[in-house]
Amino acid sequence: MEYSIGQIAEKLNINASTLRFYDKEGLLPSVNRSAGGIRVFRDADLNWLKLLECLKATGMPIKDIRQFCDWMQQGDDTIGQRQQMMHERRDAVQKQIAELQRTLAIVNFKCWYYDTAAEQGTEANLKKMKSEDLPKEIRALKKKGGLI
């Protein structure tokens, strides 16, 4: 199936200008053009763009995405490089997830803290509370967030 730039932008929930940028940066090597010069996307391009957006969401720099794209075009000789790059991305994402989990623990602790303070109409009792006096699950959140 063939798609216009607008249809692809809508499917991926990104701006058409982003797609034009990707094309300008050489990240869309297989996108064809009509006789009138209009970009024509196919299902394979859509799949590549989904991967590109995924890599971008991991924080991968455009230069590394371009390298990955170049390796893909070179074929089987670059499987090892692509494999290594994906393992590195996975490791980076796992670190991001761990950091986000610590951040979430802090936010959850603070939600409990302010919910309790609002119920009591003051922070005074909470400020006096020792860590060992906190509810077990709240103490665990505080510890996980690195607040203890």
CATH of the domain at 8: 1.10.1660.10
Report the alpha-carbon distance of residue 31 to residue 42 in Å, rounded. Answer: 8
Number of domains in the chain: 2
Query: What is the pTM assigned to this prediction?
Result: 0.77
Q: Does residue 75 have a pLDDT over 90?
A: yes
Q: How far is CA 147 from CA 10, 87, 94, 116, in A?
A: 43, 31, 22, 18
Report the alpha-carbon distance of residue 147 to residue 78 in Å, rounded. Answer: 45
46 and 74 co-located in one domain: yes
Domain holding 119, by residue range, is 89-144
pLDDT band at 146 (very low <50, low <70, confident <90, very high): confident
pLDDT of residue 145: 83
73 and 44 co-located in one domain: yes
68 and 124 co-located in one domain: no
pLDDT tens digits for range 15-67: 999 999 999 998 998 888 888 888 999 999 999 999 999 999 999 999 999 99
